[in-house]
Amino acid sequence: MNRICCLAALTLVFVTSWVNAPAGAESPSPTFLVTGEPVPEWFTPIFDGQTLSGWIARPHMDPSELAAMDEQARADQESEWMTDAMTHWVVQDDELVNDGAGPYLVSEANYGDYELIVDYQTVSRADSGIYLKGCPQVQIWDYTDPAKFEIGSNLGSGGLWNNSAGAPGKDPFVLADKPFGEKNRFFIRQIGSRTTVYLNGKLVVDNAIMENYWDRESPLPPTGPIILQTHGGEIRWSNLAVHELTPEEANTFLDAREKDSFTSIFNGEDLDGWQGETDSYEVKDGAIRCKKGEGGNLLTQKEYANFVARVEFRLPEAGNNGLAIRSPLGGDAAYQAMCEIQTLDTSHPNYEGLDPRQAHGSAYGMVAARQGYLREPGVWNFQEVTVNGSRVSVELNGNTILDADLAEVTEYLDNKEHPGKNRTSGFFGFAGHNDAVEYRNISIKELP
């Protein structure tokens, strides 16, 4: 195993042990979760300790407004912001120091799935935060300031403060801030829209969906910058470093969440436990694969009512398949099942002009899913489908792309109704359409 693979494996061993740690528990090794310990060598510094190289300036601003500017106007505006920033940001003793005013610093690079280490030290009455994928924010503030107790400052830093009231992650599990005058360390893992935060070695946010402040109806953007927010008091930043996650690492972390409550329904070796068009499918390298040129439904032998299903899938170019939800044993899953959740290489030219209700993750012919979160063909994706009553939601690579009540659907693709949409139970499986689409690590959690 080469050095890079060793480091990736170590990261998985270390971090997956924390995923199900009890809220607020002192973390086990590794020690790099706390300040004063070296940043692991597999992290890449994003602040060189000497200059503002790799950073630009921007105030709190909807990225869509910036994107709408023409190129020259945007360049002029960014130059003006950077000039202003230079009066408020300085580098001192390997620290990035802000006086509490001016534009925020924005990484020039955009990041998708990653782990971030940040050390900071601030003062009383200060208020700050870290934007992830350009969206606010992991909160930093004065936990001793009674003026902000009503909005949660007494609960401590590290929460996803811009999440809706009562939403997971908005408030940190425990108060983990150090006293003023001491440095704090964040370890943040961002996979899709799912955020995990450790502050000073304590778990304060566990795999919570971070809401998109700029567009509450959409997941976070697929990629975006890291932004250092500041207002109200001096803050010093240091040891800023990122480890970008591979799709395999990201999938492992997503699958580790509440893993003990899921039951595997595929043994990785053969089609034992499956029924239907078994001759049209094969098992190859631990995955169920539809044979090219063949199709039909491959279904579980057990029926399910309410459940959460997890699968990893890999598409060939232009690949087309689907997840059969509450399906009968025979018939077209798109119509006779409660629904077919599309598995499709939507960006392929073959599907140009496709109805949005036919795109990947959609409840076929009924409700369109959000697009832009599917990985390229040949790369494994992680998908979780929740079926509860008449409601179906789809989470793709950590992003909720569909959340719909099918009982409310009254308009259908080509005006063709779906007689199976009101089914309350049925089989789970795959609806093959002649392409060699692969599925692996298939598991289900039954719901009441």
| HEC letters along 172-230 | CCCCCCCCCCCCEEEEEEEECCEEEEEECCEEEEEEEECCCCCCCCCCCCCCECCEEEE
pLDDT in tens, 201-247: 999 999 999 999 999 999 999 999 999 998 889 999 999 999 999 99
Q: Which domains does the chain have, with CATH numbers?
A: 3-252 (2.60.120.560), 261-446 (2.60.120.560)
Q: Which pLDDT belongs to residue 126?
A: 87
Task: Determine the average pLDDT of the residues in 358-376.
Answer: 98
Task: Determine the average pLDDT of the residues in 30-57.
Answer: 93
**Site of tokens 């994107």:** 67
pLDDT in tens, 301-336: 999 999 999 999 999 999 999 999 999 998 999 999
Q: Do you know the residue count of the chain? A: 448
Q: How far apart are CA 4 and CA 176, in angstroms?
A: 33
What does each C-alpha distance from 35 to 39, 120, 197, 199, 238 come to in angstroms? 9, 9, 15, 10, 10
Residues paired with residue 184 on neighbouring β-strands, in sequence order: 120
Q: How far apart are CA 207 and CA 197, in angstroms?
A: 8
pLDDT in tens, 382-403: 999 999 999 999 999 999 999 9
CA 208 to chain centre: 9
The type of residue at 142 is: D
Q: Which pLDDT belongs to residue 17?
A: 41
- What is the percentage of the chain residues whose pLDDT exceeds 70? 93
- Give the phi and the psi of residue 179 in degrees, each rounded to 5: -60, 155
Nearest to 290 by CA among 392, 430, 390: 430
Give exposure, 296-323, as e/b (b: 16+ Cβ within 10 Å). Answer: bbbbbeeebebbbbbbbbbbbeebbbbb
- Identify the H or E element spanning 77: helix 71-85
Q: What is the mean pLDDT of the chain?
A: 92
**Site of tokens 């949660």:** 152
274-276 sheet: strands from edge to edge: 274-276, 295-304, 426-433, 320-327, 339-344
- Give the phi and the psi of residue 178 in degrees, each rounded to 5: -90, 160
Q: Which pLDDT belongs to residue 322?
A: 98
**Site of tokens 């077209």:** 332
Q: How far apart are CA 109 and CA 29, in angstroms?
A: 30
Give exposure, 27-43, as e/b (b: 16+ Cβ within 10 Å). Answer: beebebbbbeeebbeeb
Q: How far apart are CA 315 and CA 432, in angstroms?
A: 12
What does each C-alpha distance from 366 to 219, 265, 428 come to in angstroms? 20, 28, 19
Task: Determine the average pLDDT of the residues in 360-380.
Answer: 98
pLDDT in tens, 414-445: 999 999 999 999 999 999 999 999 999 999 99
Residue 139 has pLDDT above 60, yes or no: yes
Q: Which pLDDT belongs to residue 232?
A: 83
439 neighbors 288 (Cβ within 8 angstroms) = yes
Given pLDDT bands bounded at 50, 70 and 90, which one contains residue 30? low
435 neighbors 318 (Cβ within 8 angstroms) = yes
| pTM as predicted | 0.92
95 neighbors 105 (Cβ within 8 angstroms) = no
243 neighbors 43 (Cβ within 8 angstroms) = yes
Q: Are strands 89-92 and 95-98 parallel, antiparallel or unpaired?
A: antiparallel
Q: How far apart are CA 101 and CA 230, in angstroms?
A: 7
To the nearest 10°, report the CA torsion of 153, 159, 162, 165. -80
203 neighbors 27 (Cβ within 8 angstroms) = yes
Q: How far apart are CA 421 and CA 205, in angstroms?
A: 36
Task: Determine the average pLDDT of the residues in 68-88.
Answer: 95
Q: Which pLDDT belongs to residue 231?
A: 83
pLDDT in tens, 280-299: 999 999 999 999 999 999 99
Task: Determine the average pLDDT of the residues in 155-173.
Answer: 97
